[in-house]
Amino acid sequence: MFARLVYESFRRQKRRKLLAGVAVTLGVAVTTAMIGVATDIGDKISRELRTVGANLVVTSSDQALDVKIGGVNLKPANDGGYLNEVDLPKIKTMFWRNNIVGFAPMLPVTVSVSPSGSAAGKSSAELVGTYFSRAVRSGAEDFVTGVRTTHPLWHVDGSWPADTSRDLLVGQTLARRVDKKPGDLLQFDGDEYRVAGILSTGGPDDERMYAPLALAQHLLGRPGALQSIEVSAITKPEDDFARRDPKTLKGAVYDRWYCSPYATSIAYQLQEVIPNSRAEQIRQVAQNEGTVLSRIQGLMLLIALAALVAAALAVSSAMATAILERRGEVGLMRALGAGSFSVGAMFLAEATLLALIGGSIGFAIGTGLAHQIGRRIFDQAIVVQPVLYPYVLGTAILVTFAGSALSIRKALRFDPVRVLRGDA
C-alpha cells in the first residue's frame, strides 16, 4: 500500500513534482560542476603558471661560484663541476615523475663572435647547449622534453633548430649586436654555424645563443657533460610542513613529506636520482606560484560553498512549496486515520525518490558542465571524480529532507477538518 501510494503520487501529480524535481536537478548539477571546478582549478592554474619558466634547478654539488651579471657569465669556462647527460632519463623514474612537465639541460660555453664576418669588433657571447624538443627514453616510455616545454613563452622568429643539427638560436639583443637574421651564417671558433631562428624572451636570454647540447659539449671538449638542469614541475603550495628538513623526519611523517608534491620534496628526490647533484627551488617562481595558487583555490572553494548554500536553499524552498500545496492530501490521509508518522514517512519517501532521480540526472549534467567549462576555459577537460557521486547524492537527500521536514510538520499541525474545507 505504502509503495503504491508513493508510486501513484509520482504518476498522477507530475506537475507538482516537476518544480521540486527541476530544483533538485539544477541544484545538484551546479554543485557538482562547482566542486569539480574548485578541486581541479589548482592543477589547471598550476599548468598556466608553469609558463613562467622552470621552478627547480639541478646543479653539480661541487661548490662552484658563478660570476654572472645580467645573464652574462664572466667566469672562465672550464671551472666548476658537471653533471652527466646519461643521468637525465632518471628524472622520469622518481616518485613524482608524472608531475614533471619537462626539463632542459644547460651547458654554457663562452665563444667570441664578430659582426658579419669581419675580424674587427670581436666580442664574447655565451652559447648554451640544451635540448630544444628531444625524445628521452626512460624504460618503455618516450618523453619529449626541452626548452620548448619548460619555456613555452619563448618566441622564435624563423625556426627552432633541430636537436641533431648544428644550428643556432640567437637571442634578439645579441643578434642585433652581430647583425644576423634567420638563415645567416655566424662564425666563431674557426667554424661556421647557421642561425635558424631569433629568440625573444624579454629577459637575459636575449643576450645568449642556444645550440643543441652535443654542439656545446663539442666546443667545450667535454662529451656527455652538462652544467645544470632546469626542471618544470607541478607542485603543491608550500606550507609549514613542506619547510621541514627531511633529515629530521622519521617513519610515517617522512613518508608523508616525501609523497607530497612540494617543491622541496621534488627537489629532494631529484637530488636522490641524479648523482652528485644539488637541487634547489627557484624561489621567485616556486614561492609565488604557491601564493597565487592558494589564493585562486581558496576563492573557488569559497564560491563552491556559496553555490552549495544557494542550491540547498533553492531545493529546500522548492520542496517546502511542493508540500504546502498538498495540505489537502495530508488532511485527507489524516481524516482516513493515518498517523503523523505514516504521513511523514510517505512524504519523506517521495522526497528521497525525488532526490535520487533528480540527484542522478543533476550529477550527470554537472559532470558535463564541468567538462565543458574545462574545455572552454582551459582547453582541457575537468574530470569530476566518480567518488563524489554518493556524497553528492547523500547531500541531495539530506537537503530535500531538511526542506520537506519543516513543511510536513506544518502540514500535520493543521486541523484536517479545516484543511479539507479549504479554510486553512
Residues 363-382 touching other proteins, rule: CB under 8 A, are: 369, 373, 376-378
Q: Which three cell numbers stand for residue 390?
A: 554518493
- Of the pair 211, 319, the CB lying nearest other proteins is at 319
Residue 361: name the closest of 36, 21, 37, 11 by CA.
21
- Of the pair 318, 355, the CB lying nearest other proteins is at 318
Per DSSP, 417 falls in state: H
Specify the stretch interacting with other proteins by CB under 8 A; choose among 6-14, 15-23, 248-256, 384-392.
15-23
Tell the smallest beta-carbon distance from residue 391 to other proteins (Å): 19
Pick the binder of other proteins from 309, 335, 383, 417 (CB under 8 A).
Answer: 309
Name beta bridge partners: 187. Answer: 192
Residue 233: name the closest of 331, 121, 94, 120 by CA.
94
- Say whether residue 360 binds other proteins (CB under 8 A): no
- Say whether residue 416 binds other proteins (CB under 8 A): no
Specify the stretch interacting with other proteins by CB under 8 A; choose among 133-141, 160-168, 191-199, 302-310.
302-310
Residue 285: name the closest of 150, 411, 160 by CA.
150
Nearest-angstrom CA–CA distance, 236 and 45: 12
Nearest-angstrom CA–CA distance, 220 and 325: 86
Residue ranges of E strands in 71-130: 72-73, 83-84, 100-113, 123-130
Nearest-angstrom CA–CA distance, 133 and 284: 25
Spatial neighbors of 392 by CB under 8 A, at least 6 apart, are 28, 31, 32, 35, 359, 362, 363, 366
- Say whether residue 317 binds other proteins (CB under 8 A): yes
**# chain residues binding other proteins, by CB under 8 A:** 76
Contact 150, 235 (CB under 8 A): no
Specify the stretch interacting with other proteins by CB under 8 A; choose among 108-116, 132-140, 141-149, 303-311.
303-311
Pick the binder of other proteins from 9, 17, 21, 30 (CB under 8 A).
Answer: 30
43-82: contacts with other proteins (CB under 8 A): 44-45, 48-49, 51-53, 56-57, 63-70, 74-75
- Say whether residue 209 binds other proteins (CB under 8 A): no
Specify the stretch interacting with other proteins by CB under 8 A; choose among 85-93, 140-148, 180-188, 318-326.
318-326
Spatial neighbors of 379 by CB under 8 A, at least 6 apart, are none
Specify the stretch interacting with other proteins by CB under 8 A; choose among 18-26, 99-107, 183-191, 345-353.
18-26
158-197: contacts with other proteins (CB under 8 A): none
Specify the stretch interacting with other proteins by CB under 8 A; choose among 114-122, 250-258, 300-308, 332-340.
300-308
- Of the pair 194, 414, the CB lying nearest other proteins is at 414
From residue 199, alpha-carbon distances to 55, 98, 133, 147 in Å are 21, 29, 15, 12
Tell the smallest beta-carbon distance from residue 373 to other proteins (Å): 5
